[in-house]
Structure 1
Amino acid sequence: MSSPAVGARAADGVFDGLREDIVAGRLTVGERLPSEAALAERYGVSRPSVREAIRSLQALGLTRTRTGSGTYVVSDRPALSLGYGDFSPRDLSEARPHIEVPAAGLAAERRTEEQRAELVALCDRMDATIDPEEWVDLDSRFHVLVAVASGNAVFARAVGDIRDALSHQSGVVNLIAHRREPSSREHRAIAEAIGIGSAIEAREAMRAHLGAVERVVSPLSEPASRD
């Protein structure tokens, strides 16, 4: 049986191949995708990996599955939205370093043993899962827990209030840039720094993580406009 990381990479390969075929016009709008079995054979992967790739295509608005009929191409351009509700991508990018970096430092100084163990457990589950939706949920829970562990009610409330926006953006970024594995390593570094009580290392690890996210989000985002 393949490891979770291998399974995730297999789904990414199918997703990339099908997305490129759709965008390039080799699979046209209205055309039905080959069956799961045919795609699994073509890409040399398991059928669950094919299903994950198809879910990702649907999340981008490229395909739609019709019960009993199959999966069809419905658009040749991804319907991307990195904002959520009232929060634009710029809003999140500007605010997060001022909230989550100091929160990580305080968490290193104030976290309880229970919180330390829970952060590690979340990292373990992020490493183990091959379900992209579960990974995104664990990601947002990790960031909320860091803020709570800071012992600062303002930081905890702020991150809690933007949790849905963070989850949405994380899901889109992972589809486009395959950020799950590097992001899991970055979360592990944050948890380890908090675990050993190093505020400096915790702040740097969180700053590095947010910087990596920003480098992906920035070129994908339209400049935010304010009337």
Structure 2
Amino acid sequence: MWSDHTGRVAHNRGGGCRVKNYELVLHRVEADLAAGRLRIGGRLPGERTLAEQLGISRPSVREAVRVLEAMGVVRTATGSGPEAGAVIVAEPVSPLTAVLRLHLATNHLPMSDVVQTRILLESWSAREAAGRAPGLDAAELKVADDLLDRMDADGLSPEEFHLLDAEFHVALSGLAGNVLIAAVMASLRSAIHGYVLAAVPNLPDWEAMAVTLRGEHRAIVAAIRAGEPESAAELVTAHIRGFYQAAQLQTP
């Protein structure tokens, strides 16, 4: 299959794998986005137009639009008014979250691999955030500070604490200023919360662990605020590994 300078997509006539009809639409949209013919906020051509241009059926176009919507690339609205149709958006977090949760449910992604991924992403993010410390927006740091204060509240259940904990780690990753890293961490949030909470019964003393985690959280933020990249990265790594070791779970 190939895409010409107009963005039209054609079948590869030289043999090889047969492309499903709906995939023609996906490739067309990808080519148009890459070439700047489609932009965020723009609309896909109508169903009939795409079907005629690509030589496929309208049901195939509808299937492609449903796939694009599930991928967070378009948002659709029914009807015939100005808001109807498929609009280009950029919402990768929800589809990434769904995919990760499904694969975790199959046990295809070992917990040790997820922990290692957290360490890689979060230690890098903490290092970068600390390097940006002089220029960090006070509002960005305030999000993390507010979550820390909420975790200090009396009477929090482990589930309530770890929901805030997951939000805190997402907020920390956002301080690095990397949109993709932030999206991946946001997608991991529910997975992190799920198996962190499942580990709580393995802890010999949850109350003591909660005190430890609070102190470690504040030390990480302090290192970032002070502009200490290596210290911030080491503290995050020790924080993540320490919890899983305390819960007697395998860690990388």
Q: TM-score, normalised by structure 1?
A: 0.55
Q: Does 1:100 align with 2:140?
A: no
Partner of 1:173: 199
One-letter amino acid matched to 2:197: G
Residue of structure 2 equivalent to 1:201:
231
Which secondary structure state, in structure 1, belongs to the residue aligned with residue 213 of structure 2?
helix
Q: Is 1:85 aligned to residue 105 of structure 2?
A: yes
Q: Decide which of 140, 144, 157 is 1:115's aligned counterpart.
A: 140
1:150 aligns with 2:176: yes
CA distance in 1, matches of 2:120, 2:177: 16
Identity across matched positions, percent: 27
Q: CA RMSD in A?
A: 2.2
Aligned to 2:14: none
How many equivalent pairs are there? 139
Higher helix share: 1
C-alpha separation between the residues in 2 aligned to 1:142 and 1:176?
Answer: 23
Structure 1, unaligned stretches of length 5 or more? 1-82
Q: Map of 1:117-136 to 2, 5 A cutoff?
A: 117-132=142-157, 133-136=159-162
Q: CA deviation at 1:150?
A: 0.7
Deviations 1:121-171 (A, max 9, x none): 211211224222221111011000011111012221221111011111221
Q: Is 1:160 aligned to residue 186 of structure 2?
A: yes
CA radius of gyration, larger in: 2
Cα–Cα, structure 1 residues 161 and 142, in superposed 2: closer, same or farther, change >3 Å? same
Write out per-residue CA displacement over residues 180-206 of structure 1, whole angstroms, 9 at most, x where no aligned residue.
Answer: 221111111111111222212211110
For the residue of structure 2 that corresponds to 1:140, the secondary structure is: helix
SS in 2 for 1:128: coil
The change in CA–CA distance for 1:152 and 1:129 in structure 2 (over 3 A counts) is: farther
**Post-superposition, which runs of at least 4 consecutive aligned residues in structure 1 deviate over 6 A?**
none
What runs of 5+ residues in structure 2 fail to find an aligned partner? 1-102
Q: CA deviation at 1:115?
A: 1.5
